[in-house]
Structure 1
C-alpha cells in the first residue's frame, strides 16, 4: 500500500491518462472547455447546450442562414472513448466549422467516458442521443411532453437528410449505430441518409494490409486503450465492436444508411483498417446508394484537430461538409 498522498495506480495509459485504484482519473491530453456562442463572429453559427437525459447532453449548432430546412448532422467526437468532450475547444471549433461549411444543423453528442464508465456506456449514450434527434421528426402534438423537444431541430431540421459522423472513436461509434439502425428502427422509422467515418478506430489481433506485426502487441497504445475502455469485452481486441472483420461481427451489409464516406490519413497507423472497412462494405452486398473514400497523404491521426487551420485540415473539413450538404441521390 502506498503511503502519504501517493495513490495506487490501476492503469497507466500514458500519454492519455492515469486511472487510480480509488476510481479517480487524471487526464493529460484534453483541450479546455469553451462555452457555446450565441453567434460566432467568424462563421455566424450559433450554438447552445442541451440536456438529452440525466446521462447524455449535447451541443447544438445552427447556421445563420437557417431560413429554410437544413440537413442534420449528429456528430460523435474522438478521443479513444476516454478523453475529450463535445464542449472542448478542439471539438467546438471543428463542429462549428462543419456546421458552417455544410450549412447543417449539428448535434455534437457528449457521451460518458471510460474508464469511469466503460463501454458499452458510450454506445448506449450515443444511441439514446440519435433516438432523441429522431423523435423530433415525429408529430406528437403540442400536449405530448414525453420527449423534451428542441426548437432548433423542430423548426429547422430536414429529417430526410439525416447524417451521422465521427472521428476515430467517434467513427467507431458511427459504425456501431449504423449497424444497429439497420435492424432496430429509429422513432418515426427515420432513415439515416449518410454516415462518415473519419480515421475510424478499428483494430484486431492480426495485421491487415501493410500493417506491421510489431504493432499487434499488448504494449501498443491502440490495444492498451481498448483494454482500458472495455475490459470486459468478450474476445478482447477481436471483439466485434473494435474488429468489424472478426468472425462474430455482424455483416457490414446491414449498415443502415444510404451513403457512406470513409476518410483515412496516409501516416495514420489506423489507415489500413479504414481501407479494409471500405473494401468489406463494397464486397458485402450492402445496398446503399454510394460509398466513397477520401485520403489525405502525409498526415497522421487526428491531424485536422491538432492542426486545425492548416491547408490539409481545411481540405478535410470541406470534404466532410460537401458530403453532408449533398442532396439525396437517386435510388439504384
Structure 2
C-alpha cells in the first residue's frame, strides 16, 4: 500500500517561508485565570515588546535579541497591565514566552538608540533578523496584541470586555459573551493552463499596488459560507476573468498584517482569455516555466520583471510549478 502522506506535495517544508514556523506550545486548553500571573512570575519568563507593529530588539555584536526578562521589560517601558501569554518554549525547558505593548511615552526613546531598535514585523522577517521558529512567535504576538487593541468592546452588547485565559480570549462581564481572536483566511493561488498539446503556462499579474515590475499570484479574502475551492474560483474570475476547474491545496502561511492566514493553492485554468479588473491588476500574462526561471533569478526590486522573494508563499507556489516535471 502506498503512503498517502509521502512526497513533498503532501508535506512541504519551505525553508525561508516567513512566519510559518513557531515552536511554542500555546497550551490554550489548560489555561486558567491564574495562568498569566504564574507564567509572568516564572524566573525564565521572557517578553516580546511591541510599539504597534514594531518589535523592540536589542542590538548585540552577533545577533538581535527580542526577548527580555520581566525586570528588564518593566524598565524598558512595557505596559505590564496588558501582557498576554504566547505559550511555553520546549527548546528552553518550557520557559514562558509573553508579549506586551510598550507605553507610548516610552516607545519614542527607541527611535534613535544605540542599543535598541524598533523594527516592523515585516522588516524583521525580510532582513532575516531572527531564527525562523522565533519569527513565527513574533507573528503570533503581533496578531494577538492587535486583536486585543481593536476588540475591547463586546460585539453583542457594546460593554467593555476584559482579557481572559492569559490572552486567549476576551470576556464580557455584562452579557457574558466570550470572544476569541480572529484569523482572516485568504486564498492565494497560481492558475495553470494546459493546452491541447500538453503545454503548460501559469498566470502572473502585476498588482496596481506594486510600483516595480513584480509579477505575482492572485489572492483574495474568503467570504462567508464559501469553500476554499470556490473562493479560488471566484477570486480568479473576478480579477482576471478566467474560469477555473480543479483546485489543489499546497500549503499555508500566517500573515500578521494584522491576522491573515494565506492558503496557497494551484488552480486549473479552463481558458487563457483575460478580462482584468484594472482596480486590482495593472497587467497580467501567461508564462512558461522557462520564462519563470529567468524571472526567479532576478532580485526583488529589479527594474526587470521578477517574482516575489522566498519570504512569501507566492514565491513557493511559483517555484513548485516552475521546477515540476511537466510530463
If the TM-score is normalised by the length of the shorter chain, which range does it land in? Answer: under 0.3
Q: Which has the higher strand share?
A: 2
TM-score (normalised: structure 2): 0.27
Larger Rg: 2
So what's the TM-score if we normalise by structure 1? 0.27
